[in-house]
Amino acid sequence: MTDITLVVPPGMQNIYDQKRYAPGVRVGDLLFVSGMLGRDEALRVIADPEAQFAQVFENTLKVLRAAGADFSDVVEFVGYFTHLQRDFALFQRVKDRYVTKDFPAQTAIGVTELSTPGLLVELKCVARLRR
């Protein structure tokens, strides 16, 4: 039987308590990172698009590190964009600051809205953890 472990990094307990989901779930040697958003620790949306995208990656990195991983362990990203055509190029430039080689699989999907007004992207990922 495979163990399942919730990953709730420091500063993200409010996501678990208020929003009722774990930022990450480890199943064996896989880490499933919930859709990360461009919010600060108080769950306030970051208004500036570039800063919001950077916060998405910072939040994702926080979950990865809590599980002993980093962006080099990510095997897949899935992004949900409210303005895909307008924002994707900027998002990719921000992503390139965090993911610099061994690019994982990636899917980008346009949606009409996300859980909170002002959000531009929700990014989830799967990482393979080192033993």
Number of domains in the chain: 1
pLDDT at 130: 84
Domain that holds residue 78: 4-128
Q: Which amino acid is at 34?
A: S
Give the domain CATH number at 77: 3.30.1330.40
Question: CB of 80 within 8 A of CB of 109?
Answer: yes
pLDDT per position in the chain (131 positions), as tens?
679 999 999 999 999 999 999 999 999 999 999 999 999 999 999 999 999 999 999 999 999 999 999 999 999 999 999 999 999 999 999 999 999 988 999 999 999 999 999 999 999 999 999 86
- Helix H or strand E encompassing 124: strand 121-128
Q: How far is CA 121 from the centre of its chain?
A: 9
* Residue matched to tokens 């990510």: 74
Q: Cα 122 vs. chain centroid, distance in angstroms?
A: 7
